[in-house]
Amino acid sequence: MDHFIIRGGQPLEGRVQISGAKNAALPILAATLLTSEQSTLSNVPHLNDITTMVALLGALGADVSVDEAMQLTVSAAALNNQQAPYELVKTMRASILVMGPLLARFGHAQVSFPGGCAIGSRPVDLHLKGFEAMGASIEVRDGYIVASTDDGLHGCDFTFDTVTVGGTENLLMAAVLAQGRTVLRNAAREPEITDLVQFLRGMGACIEGDESSTLIIDGVSSLRSSHYCVMPDRIEAGTFLVAAAATGGCITVDNADPEHLGIVLDKLREAGVSIGVDGMSITADMRNRRPKAIDLVTAPYPGFPTDMQAQFTALNVIADGVGRITETIFENRLMQAHEMSRMGADITVDGHSAIIRGKETINGAPVMASDLRASASLVIAGLAAMGETRVERIYHIDRGYERIEEKLQSIGGDIVRKSR
């Protein structure tokens, strides 16, 4: 099993090209099932989760081709299967996103209960309630969620009990082919949802209200082919900016949209990082300074993203002062705290919060990743630590960061991937 060996204590300096957003590419790939015509996607990251979704589309009967530039062409004209198999779905929670497109286009979908990172319960009940409100019948049979409708989906007025990104995406995709108007209230507002809306519009969907908490969708009878460029990955960009701050370095991330990183940049500034913005490039400069400890509370967009709290935990570990990180979106998402304690970090977990008393130095140690973002935080801690850090179970990080060790090497990080 692969692992990283990191020799820390050196500042990161240079420029990094940010890849396309995994969390935008996955629902967009699912949305290609909505049409019998060809879809072409560019700026798709080369990641394990993308490979899994491509394999899932293929298992459903879609023809997917990939060129050297990771431009994907999907033709779902000959779909011959509406069952998403357990073998693929168990590894990635986003697999549930094929349910809305399959149900909308064919009136039937079977999807195994999804898997993914071990960061607590992320139930799909809101997805299913929405499908039922649109006229689908739902049952659980042999470990599969089975959804069907006799006369197609019908528009409805549906309010999410809580904000759910996946639920918003799934019902949005189902609604574009439903009969009549659908109104989705308390919808998630993440930039990745706006990216999905723009892709669907390019296919001929009628959607209003993107970037707001109310989406209005007027169903159409069919969708056409589309060419689309996936948005940059705001979480990857934020991760590299935090890494620069934690190591006392100065880097510029290119192909990064600062509008998607508002509160992340604000928190970096609060920590004492000098932030510069030039179009789609962002510079973080922390040379010759120690970061200040900060407090943060995760919240749905435009609040602080849950996918960045682990990285800021690593920053607080070597910061001046005491910081409190509070996770409100998922339970069990502070598991990086125990591993950082092995490196000498002073962290106390109190319910959904981690209280971190910063230290000037931490030491390298063997640590184990528990989920995607926790693994990124351990890499950051390793880069900031003195001595050698060994990060195990890095298959987690490969799900969400494209060639992270190569990108870090290009800006001075002493990190290598090794196999047993």
Cis peptide before 302 (omega within 30 of 0): yes
What CA–CA distance (Å, rounded) separates 89 from 71?
23
Give the three-state DSSP class for 203: coil
Active site residues: 117
Amino acid letter, 327: E
What does the chain come to in residues?
420
- Name, in order, each residue with C-beta under 8 angstroms of 350's C-beta and a sequence gap of 6 or more: none
Closest CA to 391 of 361, 413, 360: 413
Q: How far is CA 409 from CA 21, 241, 386, 405, 416, in A?
A: 21, 15, 17, 6, 8
Sign of torsion, CA 385 390 396 397?
positive
Q: Write the DSSP symbol of residue 121.
A: -
From CA 57, how far away is CA 65, in angstroms rounded? 11
For residue 48, which of 110, 17, 2, 112 has the smallest C-alpha distance? 2
Helix, strand, coil percentages (3-state) for the chain, rounded to 5, are 35, 25, 40
Report the chain's C-alpha Rg in angstroms: 21
Cβ 182 vs Cβ 171: under 8 Å: yes
Take residue 62 and report the two structure tokens written for it.
């879609």
C-alpha to C-alpha distance for 116 and 306, rounded to whole angstroms: 16
In 3D space, the residue among 88, 141, 139 whose CA is nearest the CA of residue 115 turns out to be 88
Say if CB 305 and CB 298 are below 8 A apart. Answer: yes
347 - beta bridge partners? 356
- Determine the distance from the C-alpha atom of residue 187 to the mean position of all C-alpha atoms in its chain, rounded to a whole number: 17
- Torsion of the alpha carbons at 46, 370, 27 and 179, rounded to the nearest 10: 160
DSSP string, 213-247: SEEEEE--S----EEEEPPB-HHHHHHHHHHHHHT
